[in-house]
Copies of this chain bind each other. A is one copy, B any other.
């Protein structure tokens, strides 16, 4: 390693799925059909109402910096959304508009995490979590989780792994990659435990809205002393717009504002104006239709994978992922993913992108493609398995 590289860059892992993506592109360039079940974004276009709001803003030509914390109207609308959707009051001073949930993580950890401090998180989890921690020279303490806790951290596990170096705990529900939602009382207990320990609780709620059973509960229902990370990317279908939000505990408002001014100046203006339309009735009606479609896809894929012999210890309740145990077919899920792509043109994400806990036995399927396409993918997968 070059002596000039920051040491933190050594610990930051690249995404293994990128290797697969590169190969998928090559195969497609050769004219081969690839079914993409590795992609973590909705295949639906951004709702028309949102697009139109963005275009209206662009037509003014006045695409100037907004305040660092975001357009006041948008912060207001986000506050209203908490009231109507969750019956929770949030002071809009605590709400920061950010460049996606990614920007929200950057502010939350930048404002709270000191070098060498540790953050507890589930293994498996979203790969960027631990890398954000390393960006600030902290340590990601991953806690192996399994079906018994719905692949979520529990209050007991948090207590068990808490040390003097622990800054806090991060829970993402629904989870990427498992799609599982934490039970409401479990979430409450986890938050209270962290609060009692004097730490910071971070709740990644980016897949809220994309839930197929009971609605997910926001961490804000149980405490104001939490960081909530959310985004317009997934449920609202705005990945490429780069707009999300962060809610911070009162005592972090000033520090978060300073960081936002310095790191971002502001979030993209047209994206913020477009997001103003995200809570419109028409938009929400369209998003509900999409949610229903995602639910049908989940049911289809879940049944199909079980039938093929994959193990799925819990039927996922949300997001657009199924994390399936493939140990019946392979002891190396990465190789399995590479071979499947090569032989049959189906792209999936290897478990090792999400941690080390049994990662070689798991793969993640994203149902961000139509049932018709998934049906073909399942035929190809069946053929691949039978040959193997």
* Among A267-275, A320-328, A341-349, the stretch in contact with B: A267-275
Q: Which of B41, B66, B135 contacts A262 (CB 8 A)?
A: B135
Q: Which residues of B contact A263 (CB under 8 A)?
A: 102, 106, 132, 135
Residue interface bits A117-160, CB-to-B below 8 A is 1, else 0: 00000000001100110011100000000000000000000000
Contacts A54-B270, A198-B4, A251-B5 given; indicate if A64 touches B258 (C-beta within 8 A): no
Contacts A198-B4, A264-B99, A270-B270 given; indicate if A61 touches B48 (C-beta within 8 A): yes
Most interface-central of A5, A58, A106, A251 (chain B CB within 10 A)? A58
* Among A6-14, A89-97, A215-223, the stretch in contact with B: A6-14
Is A82 interfacial (CB-CB < 8 Å)?
no
Q: Name the interface size band of chain A.
A: 35 or more
Min Cβ gap A68→B in Å is 9
- In the bound complex, how far is the Cα of B4 from the Cα of A113, in angstroms? 8
Is A77 interfacial (CB-CB < 8 Å)?
no
Give 24 CB contacts A-B under 8 Å: A4-B167, A4-B198, A4-B199, A5-B112, A7-B114, A9-B258, A14-B254, A14-B258, A14-B261, A45-B62, A45-B63, A55-B58, A55-B59, A63-B238, A99-B264, A100-B265, A102-B262, A110-B135, A128-B261, A128-B265, A135-B259, A135-B263, A242-B265, A242-B266
